[in-house]
Amino acid sequence: MTSATEAVRAARFYTSARRLPWVIGKFADWRLPLGPYNGVQVAVMSLGGLLLVKTASWWWSLLGPVPVVAWVAVIFICRRQKVAGRTPVGAALGVATRIAQPAGGRIGGRAARDRRPAALCGGFTLQGLDAVAPPAAPAADHGSTRPIPAAPATASAPASPAGPGPRRPLSPVQAALLATKADS
């Protein structure tokens, strides 16, 4: 039975991977000289050493031991280097993936691309404008009360397709087309 006054025990288990970062050169209690080294330091050591050995005939007569000292300094600088809170390898991978991204971004894991342009084709039909009179225009503010001529009614005008009944008012485009037709 547990009582309300009994303290709750908490147990925590830590692995060495959580307590120590990934390092190279630490074996039990023995360490490499000036070590342990992280992955970036090992890469700088190996690639820089290879580069210095292959080009030693070129730079030794000009610079002496300066490149070797610079190489050791870069190895030391890479020990705890962070770029915006990330390791240099992670930052370099982030930059590389950003450069490799398509310019338009991605949608659902695929490169987002604009669709090919396509021509839009269409048409329109004007129906029954011959028998319809244009609406009366409002009088101008200048005080002119000039009458607006109405379209002449003809007996040969075709019947409206909708049959007899109330007509919709004309739109300004229909009225302009009707006025143009009446003038000609």
The per-residue pLDDT for range 6-35, each reduced to its tens digit, is 777 777 665 555 555 556 666 667 777 777
pLDDT (tens digit, 9 = 90+) per residue, 109-137?
888 888 888 888 888 877 776 665 666 66
Contact 165, 159 (CB under 8 A): no
Question: What number is the average pLDDT over the span 132-147?
Answer: 60
pLDDT band at 38 (very low <50, low <70, confident <90, very high): confident
CB atoms within 10 A of CB 89: 13
Tally of CA atoms within 13 A in the half-sphere of 46 that contains its CB: 6
Residue type, 160: S
H or E element in which residue 26 lies: strand 26-27
The answer to whether the bond into 36 is cis (omega within 30° of 0) is yes
pLDDT (tens digit, 9 = 90+) per residue, 41-76?
888 999 999 999 999 998 888 889 999 999 999 888
Q: State the pLDDT at residue 146.
A: 59
Strand 106-107 with 26-27, pairing = unpaired
